[in-house]
Amino acid sequence: MLRDSFSRKDTSVIGRWWWTVDRWSLAAITIIMVLGILLSFAASPPVADRLNLGGFFFVKRHIFMIIPAVAIMFVVSLLTPRSLRRMAVLMYIGGIGLLIVTLLSGAEVKGARRWISIGSFSIQASEFIKPAFAVVAAWMLSEKLKIARFPGLSISFVLLLIPVSLLLMQPDLGMTIVMVSTLVGQLFIAGIPLLWIGCTVIIGLVGMLGAYCFLPHVARRFDQFLDPASGDPKHDLYQVTQSLEAFKNGGILGRGPGEGIIKKHIPDAHADFVFAVAGEEFGLFVCLFLVGLFAFVVVRTFLRVINDQSLFVILATSGVILQFGMQAVINMSSTLHIIPTKGMTMPFVSYGGSSMVALGIGIGMVLSLTRKRHGMTDVI
């Protein structure tokens, strides 16, 4: 229907956007958002009731945050690559400032400072610095490959070390891994010598080793993952144990919408463990469908951008979509106990205001960078 609403001769902003944007990826993202709302109705009421907030408190907040996320995604997708670079620089600088403020005055939850409270809302600065870093690092690397003397590699490493240092001080090991992996992926795609890629990997490994040695809760999570018997199943492994039980109960077809039991016992059923609710109530096929949607967006994006004439566009798109895919994989893997538990949301599905808006920015960047640009100006 929308396809018939715009003529190919329509030169308006909306018309040009519709005929140049990747509509397949846009459709997949829309389906993920709709599934996120449905799972919010399924998972969040028991959590809200336990907190005496009213059954649909988190559902309303979830929908409320999707609206600005979609609006921001659309606006960002209209930007040119040049405008995206400028926006990313400002986001990166602002994100560093917010990370510093978080360390100084952020609320401490479970031994970590990751949130800044503003009224009834909380902001996680690291969510916003992720896509900004991917774009700015892509800019520096592409300039290095165009101008041999330009210190793009060195600048990229400095751009990585600053937020990583602040993240490890919070501490937030999961976000650190995502950012290091982003630069590793971009260096690999850019064809940078393996020595530099190795240096980036070493930075990540040293960070992980340091976290294990000096952060007791990180060491405890790794130890419990390697040896589940070392943890207390009623406390340390409670959510993971309940999550695995949910998948077992759901089986292939699920227990049915609203028939889940585990969501009444998992504190983060609406957030980090929403995939477990999907598994129990809707079964294996729906979970695989959700996995397939995330995989489709990632693969489709890589295929659409791989032959682009601009190295910056290739690297920036790859970096942001890699973050998107990694976030989904980390969330699902934690829920299935494939990796140590990590508090990371499932994109557009889990409850989380900062994550939702930041994802809107990131996917908006991807949609902008993958638009067809025949005849468009201000591309580079």
Give, in order, the Cα–Cα distances in Å from 361 to each of 115, 252, 285, 355, 356. Answer: 19, 35, 30, 10, 9
Structure tokens at 249: 């109960």
pLDDT at position 29, please?
Answer: 97
pTM, two decimal places: 0.89
Instruction: Evaluate whether 166 touches 103 at the Cβ level (below 8 Å).
Output: yes
More confident residue, 371 or 379: 371
Which helix (DSSP H) or strand (DSSP E) does residue 121 occupy?
strand 121-123
Mean pLDDT taken over the chain: 85
pLDDT at position 313, please?
Answer: 95
> Which residue shows structure tokens 């340390």?
236
Q: Which of 142-146, 159-163, 194-198, 224-228 has the lowest mean pLDDT?
A: 224-228
Chain segment 128-157, per-residue pLDDT in tens = 999 999 999 999 999 988 888 899 889 999
Query: Taking residues 160-166, what's their average pLDDT?
Result: 91
pLDDT at position 380, please?
Answer: 44
Query: Taking residues 70-98, what's their average pLDDT?
Result: 94
Structure tokens at 31: 């389906």
Distance CA 371, CA 16 (A): 10
Strands 112-118, 121-123: pairing kind: antiparallel
pLDDT at position 379, please?
Answer: 43
pLDDT at position 230, please?
Answer: 61
Query: Taking residues 107-127, what's their average pLDDT?
Result: 74
Distance CA 167, CA 161 (A): 10
pLDDT at position 235, please?
Answer: 56
Query: Taking residues 187-203, what's their average pLDDT?
Result: 81
Distance CA 305, CA 318 (A): 8
Chain segment 246-303, per-residue pLDDT in tens = 999 989 988 988 888 888 888 888 888 899 999 999 999 999 999 999 999 999 999 9
Chain segment 22-42, per-residue pLDDT in tens = 999 999 999 999 999 999 998
